[in-house]
């Protein structure tokens, strides 16, 4: 039996207070929605598709800041937006988020290239200690492979907290450059850094598309017979483009608000990136790769993350392969919540990441 899960209606917090789904330009207070059901209900058809209505109260298990975050409107250009419109919206979001991160975590940012690939060199303002100057962290940003949502937001706090240089890779984007362009660019940066750093002193990490890419790059490094890095960070990622997990039918990029992505019976997931590649290609989808001998890896996700399923499925695959793989799941928060620097949970996540790399890139190893 093929099991599918379709959510008809989900209500966050106070009934009628679903502000995430409002367009950015509509900032006037919303009126309570009339005649909403007050009881939970569900129906599962013969194919296993579930039609569900749930009243979901505001969780009391998260910080007050996170509660406020869950009711915050999220600007988005809309489903029919062009690539250019999506990139402009994402650039504006990252400019805001990175400014907040930089205020909390002072760093230096310098544009550069590594083996012809554009990068951002992000370093702490204070001098890097000698035992950490021998390390480098490679950040692979999120953004659905078509935009850059995190080259700064994902690197600033980690460079500051880990007191280590972060090389944030500005890999080529789809649809202009589908798979394997992003993998090729990232591997080229890693190979170039091997001339300066020992592999056990390099970590590769990313969130969302960058989390997927981190796993793909690790699989490609192994396929090429290169020495493996000292650690990986796969944050709200996935390892399988041939099918989507259950959580993508329940949550959107902003949790319980707005439509789910991809919607039921839609086409290939992130088709602009996949292109003509077989979705079960072992590099595109590392779940079908030989995962034995992967570096120590930290997986991060959250219970309202649309990629909760993908992250946990890949984590289990690492465990089956005998790898050292840790999984941390944050309560009630949405996809990539740590972009919001002011949340206590975001600060906790960033510290977890920094400490993980400190532990696994120790200079004596």
Which residue intervals of 1-145 are DSSP H helices?
64-70, 83-104
CB contact set of 292 (below 8 Å; sequence gap of 6+):
321, 322, 323
pLDDT for the residue 111: 98
pLDDT for the residue 267: 47
**324-357 b/e with 16+ CB inside 10 Å = b?**
ebebeebebbbbbbbbbbebebbbebbebbbebb
pLDDT for the residue 28: 40
Give CA–CA dist 147/149, Å, rounded: 6
Count of residues making up the chain: 365
pLDDT for the residue 240: 97
CB contact set of 340 (below 8 Å; sequence gap of 6+):
69, 97, 100, 346
Give CA–CA dist 213/183, Å, rounded: 7
Sheet holding 50-56: strands in order across?
Answer: 5-12, 50-56, 41-44
pLDDT for the residue 74: 76
pLDDT for the residue 216: 98
pLDDT for the residue 21: 33
What is the chain's pLDDT, residue by residue, as a tens digit (365 residues)?
A: 333 333 433 333 333 333 333 333 333 444 455 567 778 888 999 999 988 888 899 999 999 999 999 998 877 777 788 999 999 999 999 999 999 999 999 999 999 999 999 999 999 999 999 999 999 999 999 999 999 999 999 999 999 999 999 999 999 999 999 999 999 999 999 999 999 999 999 999 999 999 999 999 999 999 999 999 999 999 999 999 999 899 988 998 888 887 665 555 444 578 999 999 999 999 999 999 999 999 999 999 999 999 999 999 999 999 999 999 999 999 999 999 999 999 999 999 999 999 999 999 975 44
Quote the radius of gyration of the chain (alpha carbons, Å): 20
Q: Which position has the token pair 């392969």?
A: 321
Neighbours of 124 (CB within 10 A): 22
Q: Are 101 and 341 in contact (CB under 8 A)?
A: yes
Whole-prediction pTM:
0.89
């Amino acid at each position: 039996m093929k099991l599918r899960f379709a959510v008809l209606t989900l209500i966050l917090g106070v009934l009628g207070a679903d502000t995430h789904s409002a367009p950015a330009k509509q900032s006037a207070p919303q009126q309570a929605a009339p005649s909403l059901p007050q009881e939970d209900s569900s129906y599962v058809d013969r194919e296993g598709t579930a039609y569900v209505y749930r009243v979901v109260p505001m969780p009391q298990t998260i910080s007050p800041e996170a509660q406020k975050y869950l009711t915050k409107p999220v600007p988005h250009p809309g489903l029919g937006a062009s690539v250019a419109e999506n990139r402009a919206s994402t650039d504006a979001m990252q400019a805001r988020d990175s400014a907040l991160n930089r205020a909390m975590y002072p760093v230096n940012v310098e544009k550069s290239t590594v083996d012809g690939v554009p990068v951002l060199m992000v370093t702490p303002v204070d001098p890097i200690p000698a035992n950490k100057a021998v390390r480098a962290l490679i950040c692979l940003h999120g953004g659905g492979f078509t935009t850059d949502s995190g080259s700064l937001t994902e690197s600033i706090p980690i460079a500051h907290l880990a007191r280590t240089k972060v090389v944030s890779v500005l890999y080529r984007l789809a649809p202009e450059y589908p798979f394997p362009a992003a993998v090729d660019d990232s591997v080229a940066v890693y190979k170039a850094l091997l001339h300066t750093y020992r592999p056990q002193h390099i970590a590769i990490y990313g969130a969302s598309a960058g989390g997927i890419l981190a796993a793909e790059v690790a699989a490609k490094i192994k396929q090429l017979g290169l020495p493996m890095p000292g650690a990986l960070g796969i944050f709200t990622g996935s390892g399988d483009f041939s099918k989507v997990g259950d959580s993508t039918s329940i949550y959107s990029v902003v949790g319980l608000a707005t439509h789910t992505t991809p919607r039921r019976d839609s086409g290939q997931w992130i088709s602009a990136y996949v292109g003509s590649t077989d979705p079960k290609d072992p590099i595109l989808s590392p779940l079908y790769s030989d995962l034995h001998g992967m570096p120590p890896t930290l997986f991060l996700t959250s219970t309202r993350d649309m990629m909760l399923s993908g992250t946990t499925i890949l984590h289990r695959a690492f465990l089956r392969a005998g790898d050292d793989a840790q999984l941390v799941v944050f309560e009630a928060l949405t996809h990539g919540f740590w972009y919001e620097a002011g949340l206590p949970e975001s600060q906790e996540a960033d510290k977890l990441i920094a400490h993980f790399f400190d532990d696994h890139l120790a200079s004596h190893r």
